[in-house]
A and B are shown apart, each in its own frame.
Chain A
Amino acid sequence: MRLTLKIFRYDPNTSAGPHYDRFQVEADPNDRVLDLLEAVRGDQDDTLSFRRSCAHGVCGSDAMRINGLNALACKVLVKDLNSDTIQIEPLLGLRVEKDLIVDMEPFFAHYRSILPYLINDEPLPEDGKERLQSEAERERFDDTTKCILCAACTTSCPSFWADGQTIGPAAIVNAHRFIFDSRDRGRLKRLKILAGQAGVWRCRTAFNCTEACPRDIHITRAIAEVKQEILKHS
């Protein structure tokens, strides 16, 4: 099948401002959008810029807006889009560096702000080096361990669009992963950060994050659980 790709272009080194370029490509219904981008870059325009690495939905580097919806280009099949024209744009709310590449630093700054690492200064258990955990305790935060930091959720969040200061769903998901980890002792610190102005109360339950997550994490639920945890400790 023949498809038209309408791709957002921006190059800060040329005088042409942000605009869209159209490319005709021959595609198989089972092709992924990433395959089409590679085809354009390989055969038609080698200046087209986008991030990719694993091509299998693991690294999280190719999140973008495909037909108006955040997704990983390597996970979206052409046949699931049901259209002859595919519009591809960079994530919304982060500064565009070139074409489909955005500056991810503000996103990672929010991620770092919630202390995304195990905090526990207590001495190790005497009988070994591991802090043991029951299956149920591990299960408690299993869902939020799946995040690959692609930013599809945070850049689909209306509160983040309104104000890049909002900590955003991805950072809250990663905080949830430690807040509900029985081995961790940093819970109160993180709850304090998330109770702040830019934290969980900015969630308007618009559900764009949960709908966009390529790992099917129950994001809005995780945020609501953190809200409850804050209420319990206040």
Chain B
Amino acid sequence: MAHLKTPLQGYLGYRGREGQTAFLLHRISGIGTALFLTIHILDTALVYFYPGLYEEAIGIYRTTLFGIAELFLVFLVIYHGINGLRIAGFDLFVPQRWNIPTARGSFRLTLILTLLLWLPAAAVMLYNLLHHNFGLFGG
């Protein structure tokens, strides 16, 4: 555990700028997505091994808590993809353009793009959640 102390101190205490935020979000979104995929693979495997349990697993996904978590998950997946493309784009094609203004600006652009792509998906998901779980919109 001792070797976790320094990175945590840095992540939480170092006053990095957009780049550090981009890095942290990328980490969190990467771990979040990997975790979700693991759960997803496991529950789909239930179809084969314990079909009865599969229905129950899907039931859990339909709960409000999971619905809200999935909203965030979609944001993280989109962010992870766009930010990955941003970094690969600079590193592979225009390394000479890496500087403080382009790094800060491209991160802000990444966030804006993520939001733009996320909002329609979030609206649909939120609609479904309110419709099925709260009986709104004639549900």
Contact = CB atoms under 8 A, between A and B. Distances in A.
A156 B16 contact: yes
A206 interface: yes
A210 B18 CA distance: 12
A228 interface: yes
A228 B96 CA distance: 11
Contact of A227 (B16, B17, B91, B103): B91
Interface in A62-96: 65, 67-69, 92-93
Given A221-B99, A224-B91, A211 B6 contact: no
B7 A207 contact: no
A210 B100 contact: yes
Contacts of B100: 207, 210-211
B91 A205 contact: yes
Interface residues of A, number: 25
Interface in A89-105: 92-93
Contact of B10 (A93, A207, A218, A221): A93
B90 interface: yes
B59 interface: no
Nearest to B22: A206
Interface in B74-94: 87, 90-92
B11 A158 contact: yes
A-B interface, 8 closest residue pairs, ranked by CB to CB distance from nearest:
A207-B19, A224-B95, A68-B15, A206-B23, A221-B98, A161-B10, A161-B7, A162-B7
Interface of B: 3, 6-7, 9-11, 13-20, 22-23, 26, 87, 90-92, 95-100, 103
21 contacts: A65-B14, A68-B14, A92-B6, A93-B6, A161-B6, A161-B7, A162-B7, A205-B19, A205-B22, A205-B98, A206-B16, A207-B20, A207-B100, A208-B19, A208-B20, A210-B99, A210-B103, A218-B98, A220-B19, A221-B99, A228-B91
